[in-house]
Structure 1
């Protein structure tokens, strides 16, 4: 029995060591530019000449840095230190660039930007807030092209997931010098949109009771009673989260 315990302990130590080594390799790959797309100063909105204009609004999911755990898609890359298999990073500072689907990493070597298509999911940790979990939109099928490569926030996990998607709209300058009309500025607006899953497919959710109950047809009576008993409204975001959590629990 003692011999078995020693063997299990050794296997656990080997596994933890391997995971830590892989995570360190991923961090090294980021720090030594193996994942680098470029340095980023957050002063230029790519694709627009902002030398004579102002950018009104933010193309970040959140302008503040967040502590994160990042999980990459399995991928082998070459770096100056050799071949590295991407795995995950913990306790890293990130900011999500919604326009263009890039992710900034605040590293000892400076701010690095990598493509969001390399990232499968991540969790954001902010002081005095609940952990927020995000998953790549590439994990789902969007047959109606309502989303672009980006990330969904997972509001409710389960058989029918409730997801939050931030749609970014860029309004170009429309200034007409001859008439001195219009705006010289680039305007960025962000709109929160709710989506649900049906298997691997994602569908935009219209928050009306009939549509919500249609998604829960197999438990319709139970959900209707739950909504009535707790005086919930599908129009209220927090209530909607409560309804989806209940449905996925029964």
Structure 2
């Protein structure tokens, strides 16, 4: 990933640039669509900060889920207003949507003001469960109260350290973890793509599903194939 020095500030700055409250200026723009970042900042009440890069050491890679540049981020507020966010991205380490303003400053949007987001036309919405705190998931597919979700989480792998001198031999590095989840009513749990899902998720249409899988040469362990199977099941 390029511009790691830009991205490291995302982790450092967001903790002090969090929003205060969830309504604020929303009433000023109800029923409108904002194309101005300034309007979006005010209306979403995010009160971000412009902070320089102040790293004690370097972290290679990025906590952002999407490449820099060319992203289309639309935030839909709780009142239904759409906000187009320039240079938008999703920080998968701290679960926040951001706008990368320049090489040394970013703006953090208030998650409490957001109903859902469209990140490059991918819908992302907050879900929570008994064992999972509320965070944004990408909605891959849905059928009534059942949602197939993808969680993106950025973590840091520690760099190398010389055991004798305690000097760093390599930088820490961000890495992205992607996991599938299923939301069924109030339950939210991890989803492992295995053959037994056929009888677990599609028990009432198991015969039709097995026929569909065979005729279309699908593998339920493959994410794209699984989504085709789930979407077909939704039509039955």
Is 1:153 the counterpart of 2:141 in the alignment? no
Is 1:68 the counterpart of 2:50 in the alignment? no
TM-superposition CA deviations, 1:22-64 (whole Å, max 9, x none): 75899626159942131256x56xxxxx33x321221001132
TM-score, reference length from structure 1: 0.68
Matched residue count: 203
Q: In the aligned structure 2, how far is the partner of 1:249 from the partner of 1:234?
A: 18
- Is the 8 Å Cα contact of residues 40 and 83 (structure 2) preserved in structure 1? no
Q: Partner residue of 2:99?
A: 105
Q: In the aligned structure 1, how far is the partner of 2:143 from the partner of 2:66?
A: 26
- Is the 8 Å Cα contact of residues 155 and 176 (structure 2) preserved in structure 1? yes
Q: SS in structure 1 opposite 2:72? A: strand
- Is the 8 Å Cα contact of residues 116 and 150 (structure 1) preserved in structure 2? no
Q: In the aligned structure 1, how far is the partner of 2:91 from the partner of 2:190?
A: 22
1:1-250 map, 5 Å: 19-20=31-32, 23=34, 28=39, 30-31=41-42, 34-39=45-50, 43=53, 50-51=55-56, 53-65=57-69, 66-73=71-78, 87-93=80-86, 94-105=88-99, 111-125=106-120, 131-136=121-126, 139-141=127-129, 143-145=130-132, 149-159=134-144, 160-173=146-159, 175-176=161-162, 178-179=164-165, 183-250=169-236
Q: SS in structure 2 opposite 1:157? A: strand
Q: In the aligned structure 2, how far is the partner of 1:90 from the partner of 1:182?
A: 43
CA pair 135-32 structure 1, distance change in 2 beyond 3 A: closer
- Is the 8 Å Cα contact of residues 31 and 107 (structure 1) preserved in structure 2? no
Q: SS in structure 2 opposite 1:206? A: coil
- Is the 8 Å Cα contact of residues 223 and 243 (structure 1) preserved in structure 2? yes
TM-superposition CA deviations, 1:145-199 (whole Å, max 9, x none): 3xx5432111112233211111322223452463457645222111211111211
CA pair 171-225 structure 1, distance change in 2 beyond 3 A: same
- Is the 8 Å Cα contact of residues 98 and 150 (structure 1) preserved in structure 2? no
- The unaligned stretches of length 5 or more in structure 1 are 1-16, 45-49, 75-86, 126-130
Q: What's the RMSD between the two structures over aligned residues? A: 3.2
CA pair 212-71 structure 1, distance change in 2 beyond 3 A: farther
Q: In the aligned structure 2, how far is the partner of 1:73 from the partner of 1:171?
A: 36
Which structure has the larger Rg? 1
